[in-house]
Structure 1
Amino acid sequence: MNATQFTFNILKASEYLFHLRADFPDTKDPVGAIVRNSTSRGEWLREDRHMNSFPFSPGITFDMIVTAAPDHLKVEVNGSHFCNFTYRPNIKPGEVDTITVVGDLTIQKFELL
């Protein structure tokens, strides 16, 4: 109920193919933020923060689906398109070896198809 942040990461070794960090709205930032990024040779690249609205609410269950397309990832939240994330250099989806989810959430189901 007091969620402040969670992250979802798709990695190859220590390189991030996709990093999504949800910063819940608070008194300092009443809108919240969803930061997307990746790394190249250990360096963070340019962040993408564009969003039409913050799709998460503390204490409310949500479904997030991340689908790999040939040149980008597609993220859906609760059945609605949220964003596309174009792959950055150096990592292809078939090379992924780790997925992490950490922060202020409880995972009820995780599927890898």
Structure 2
Amino acid sequence: MTTIVNPQVPFTRPIPGGLSPGRTITIEGAIPPRSDRFAINLQCGSADIAFHFNPRFGDQCIVRNSYISGHWGAEETSGGMPLVRGEQFEAEFKCSEGHFTVNLNGKHFCDFPHRIPYHKINHINVDGDVNIRHVTFADA
């Protein structure tokens, strides 16, 4: 297990050991009271985003998407907005063979199918109106 403590946002870091089925990335942080949006991106280098996780408080939804070869894919927005401005949160991204499972504050939020093979994902990026306490990379 590897943990990054109190990283400055925005930040981009390599994912230690890459991703494989059973690996989990957990992000613990706090959402500022006036936050508009933030993004957690699982990237393939600096160009492609395999999984863009983007809470948008003004729209009251969490957009999920991918950015491949210079183009955004189809947005997924179902599930509402379980995150609350001014509160702490925990977001867990678990890699499986066919998709990511996302749990927010210990509850299942969504599954996001792999649009890029998981073994190509090698960086995490967090940007926007959010404070991060811990980013933990763990094996099953």
CA distance in 2, matches of 1:40, 1:101: 18
**Distance across 2 between alignment mates of 1:97 and 1:86:** 17
Residue pairs, 1:45-56, within 5 angstroms: 45-51=73-79, 53-56=80-83
Partner Cα distance (1:41, 1:105) in 2: 27
Matches within 5 A, 1:63-82: 63-82=90-109
Unaligned residue ranges in structure 1 (runs of 5+): none
Match of 1:105 in 2: 130
Residue 71 (structure 1) shift = 0.3
Would you say how many aligned residue pairs link Structure 1 and Structure 2?
105
Aligned to 2:14: none
Residues 17-76 of structure 1, C-alpha deviations (whole Å, 9 max, x = no match):
100111114xxx4xx11100012322111111111x311111100111000010000000
Distance in 1 (alpha carbons) for counterparts of 2:83 and 2:65: 19
Instruction: Report sequence identity in percent.
Output: 30
Q: Tell me the TM-score normalized by structure 2.
A: 0.71
| Residue 10, structure 1, aligned to residue 38, structure 2 | no
> Is structure 2 residue 48 aligned with structure 1 residue 20?
no
Instruction: Give the TM-score of the pair, scaled to structure 1.
Output: 0.87
Tell me the C-alpha RMSD between the 2 structures.
1.1
Of 51, 71, 79 in structure 2, the residue corresponding to residue 43 of structure 1 is 71
Partners of 2:92 and 2:100 lie apart in 1 by: 10
Amino acid in the other structure paired with 1:83: C
Paired residue type of 1:105: V
* Greater fraction strand: 2
Structure of higher RCO (CA pairs closer than 8 Å, 6+ residues apart): 2
- Cα separation, 2, equivalents of 1:12 and 1:46: 18
Q: Residue type matched to 2:48 in 1? A: E
